[in-house]
C-alpha cells in the first residue's frame, strides 16, 4: 500500500483544512511515513460553497453513505460534528469494518462506549487525536508516550473560546458579555455559545482524557461542570492583584485509587506555566507516577491545527492498513486504573471568595466565624477602604473540603450583611 484513500464526511472549516494540509504536505508525508493520504471523496450537503481549496468536481458528493460504502475508500474521516448523524455515519463505517478518524468529542464523550464496541466487533481502528486539544498530540501522548505511567493528575485548559474570552476580559478590562459579543463577531465564539462558555465542551474533553487515563469510558455523568458566565472582570482584577489568573480548567485527579473529575473556573498562579496559556491556546498538564510533571501546549481548535491532528490519525490508520496492524493501539482499552469516583463534595481545594458586604462592624467576625465552624482556614483577607455602604471582601482559604465550603456558602447567602450572591472560585496549585 502506497496511498490511503480518504473519504471525508463534512466539508466545513476543518474538512477544508484537512484537504489543504494533504494537498500541501501530502508528498512530504509520503516520504516520511511511506504512505500518502489522498482525498478520494468528500461528502457534504453543501458542495457548491467556496472553501478556499480546489478539489476535482467528481470528488464531491452529497451522499455520505456512498462514500462510506465505496470499496476504494480506506478510511472514513467524520467531521460533521454533533451526536446524531455523525454517530450513524461512524457506526455505518465500523459495521463495514472500515477505519474511522474523527474530531468529534461530544459524540465520543456521550456515545463512546457504543462506538468502541462497534469498532471492537469489526476489528476496525478509531482514531480521535483532534477531539482533545486540537493540534496537540495529547491522545498519542496519553495512550503511547505515557503508557508506563499511572496517571496521578491531569489539568487542562481545553476550551479555546473560554480561554480567549478570559484573556481578553483581562487584557481589555471588559466584561464577559461584551467580550463574548466581540468574540462571536470575530468568529472565535459560536452564535450559540453554551457548549463553550458553560463548560460542556471542556467537559467532553476532560472525560475523554480521564477515560484514557483510568480505563473506563466514563461518559458525562460523573462530571461536575461549571462554566465561565459568572466570572466577572472584578474577580479577574482581584485575582491578578493576588498573583493569579482565572482559567477554565478540566481537572482529573487520583487520590488513593479514587478519581475526581471536574470542570470549573479556577485561579492559577500568574507565575505558573498554566498562567501563561493565553488567547485561544490550550494546554494539558499530565502528572504520571514515573515521568513526573509534563505539559503539552498548542492551538486547541481552528482549521489548521485540527487538520494537523486529523491527518496524523489518517497516517496512523494508513500504517495499520499497510502493516495489517489494525487495533495495534485500540481506540479504547479498558483497564483497571481506579476504584471509584470521588464525589464533588469530598474533593479538596483552596478557595477564592468575594463577598459584597455591608460596611458595618462585625462583618468580618461573622464571616470568619462561619468559616472556622466549617473547618476552613483563612489564608488571606483583603478589604479595601471605601466610603460606600457596601464593600468587596476577598478571602483566600487554605485547603478545605468542598462539602464544608458549600455548607458555609449556604449560610453566607442567608446573612443580611452579605448583599449579592457570594463568589466562589477554586484555586489550583500545580507543581
Q: Which of 337, 348, 364, 379 binds a second copy (CB under 8 A)?
A: 337
Q: Write down the number of H helices and E strands in the chain.
A: 13, 18
Distances (CA, A) of 1 to 162, 308, 318, 319: 43, 22, 8, 9
Residue 232, helix vs strand vs coil: coil
User: Is residue 328 involved in binding a second copy (CB under 8 A)?
Assistant: yes
Q: Which of 48, 336, 388, 410 binds a second copy (CB under 8 A)?
A: 336
Distance CA 395, CA 53 (A): 54
Q: Which is nearer to a second copy, 212 or 423 (CB)?
A: 212
From the CB of 191, what's the least distance to a second copy, in Å?
A: 25
Q: Which of 25, 181, 184, 404 binds a second copy (CB under 8 A)?
A: 25
Q: Which is nearer to a second copy, 163 or 320 (CB)?
A: 320
From the CB of 6, what's the least distance to a second copy, in Å?
A: 12
Distance CA 13, CA 55 (A): 15
Site string for a second copy, 114-153 (x = CB under 8 A): ---------------x-----xxx--xx-xxxxxxxx---
Site string for a second copy, 178-217 (x = CB under 8 A): -------------------------------------x--
Decide if 24 is catalytic.
no
Distance CA 175, CA 197 (A): 14
Site string for a second copy, 272-311 (x = CB under 8 A): xx--xx----------xxxxxxxxxxxx----xx-xxx-x
φ, ψ of residue 212 to 5 degrees: the values are -65, -40
- Closest Cα partner for 335 from 100, 142, 87, 136? 142
**Pairing of the two strands 75-78 and 126-127:** unpaired
Would you list the DSSP string of 313-335? HHHHHHHHHHHT-TTSS-S----
Q: Which of 4, 21, 200, 418 binds a second copy (CB under 8 A)?
A: 21
Catalytic residue among 105, 205, 247, 287: 205
Would you list the DSSP string of 243-264? TEEEEEEEEEEEETTEEEEEEE
Instruction: Count residues binding a second copy (CB under 8 A).
Output: 66
User: Residue 229 in contact with residue 423, Cβ under 8 Å?
Assistant: no
From the CB of 280, what's the least distance to a second copy, in Å?
A: 10
Per CB under 8 A, residues contacting a second copy are 17, 21-22, 24-25, 28-29, 31-34, 129, 135-137, 140-141, 143-150, 215, 271-273, 276-277, 288-299, 304-305, 307-309, 311-312, 315-316, 319-320, 322-325, 328-330, 333-337
Residues annotated as catalytic (active site), given as ranges:
205
Amino acid at each position: 500500500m502506497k496511498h490511503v484513500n480518504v473519504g471525508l464526511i463534512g466539508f466545513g472549516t476543518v474538512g477544508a483544512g484537512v484537504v489543504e494540509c494533504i494537498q500541501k504536505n501530502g508528498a512530504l508525508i509520503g516520504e516520511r511515513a511511506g504512505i500518502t493520504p489522498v482525498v478520494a471523496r468528500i461528502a457534504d450537503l453543501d458542495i457548491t460553497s467556496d472553501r478556499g481549496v480546489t478539489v476535482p468536481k467528481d470528488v464531491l458528493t452529497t451522499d455520505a453513505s456512498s462514500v462510506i460504502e465505496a470499496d476504494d475508500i480506506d478510511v472514513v474521516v467524520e467531521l460533521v460534528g454533533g451526536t446524531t448523524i455523525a454517530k450513524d455515519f461512524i457506526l455505518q463505517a465500523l459495521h463495514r469494518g472500515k477505519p474511522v478518524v474523527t474530531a468529534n468529542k461530544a459524540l465520543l464523550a456521550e456515545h463512546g462506549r457504543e462506538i468502541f464496541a462497534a469498532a471492537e466487533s469489526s476489528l476496525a481502528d478509531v482514531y480521535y487525536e483532534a477531539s482533545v486539544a486540537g493540534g496537540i498530540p495529547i491522545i498519542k501522548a496519553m495512550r503511547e508516550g505515557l503508557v508506563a505511567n499511572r496517571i496521578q493528575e491531569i489539568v487542562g485548559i481545553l476550551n479555546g473560546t473560554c480561554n480567549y474570552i478570559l484573556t481578553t476580559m483581562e487584557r481589555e478590562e471588559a466584561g464577559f458579555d461584551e467580550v463574548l459579543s466581540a468574540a462571536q463577531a470575530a468568529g472565535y465564539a459560536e452564535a450559540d455559545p453554551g457548549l463553550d462558555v458553560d463548560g460542556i465542551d471542556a467537559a467532553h474533553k476532560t472525560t475523554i482524557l480521564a477515560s484514557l487515563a483510568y480505563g473506563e469510558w466514563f461518559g458525562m455523568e460523573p462530571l461536575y461542570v461549571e462554566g465561565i458566565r459568572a466570572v466577572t472582570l472584578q474577580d479577574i482584577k482581584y485575582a491578578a492583584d493576588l498573583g493569579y489568573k482565572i482559567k477554565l480548567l478540566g481537572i482529573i485527579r487520583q487520590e488513593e485509587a479514587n478519581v475526581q473529575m471536574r470542570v470549573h473556573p479556577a485561579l492559577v498562579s500568574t507565575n505558573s506555566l498554566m498562567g501563561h496559556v493565553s488567547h485561544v491556546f490550550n494546554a494539558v498538564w499530565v502528572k504520571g507516577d514515573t515521568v513526573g510533571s509534563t505539559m503539552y501546549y498548542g492551538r486547541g481548535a481552528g482549521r489548521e491545527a485540527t487538520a494537523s491532528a486529523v491527518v496524523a490519525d489518517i497516517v496512523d490508520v494508513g500504517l495499520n492498513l499497510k502493516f495489517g496492524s489494525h487495533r495495534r493501539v485500540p481506540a479504547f482499552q479498558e483497564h483497571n486504573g481506579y476504584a471509584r469516583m470521588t464525589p464533588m463534595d469530598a474533593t479538596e481545594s483552596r478557595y477564592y471568595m468575594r463577598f459584597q458586604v455591608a460596611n458595618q462592624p462585625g462583618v468580618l467576625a461573622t464571616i470568619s466565624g462561619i468559616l472556622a465552624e466549617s473547618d476552613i482556614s483563612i489564608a488571606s483577607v483583603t478589604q479595601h477602604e471605601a466610603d460606600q455602604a457596601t464593600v468587596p471582601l476577598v478571602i483566600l482559604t487554605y485547603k478545605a473540603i468542598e462539602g464544608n465550603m458549600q455548607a458555609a456558602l449556604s449560610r453566607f447567602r442567608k446573612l443580611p450583611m452579605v448583599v449579592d450572591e457570594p463568589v466562589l472560585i477554586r484555586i489550583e496549585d500545580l507543581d
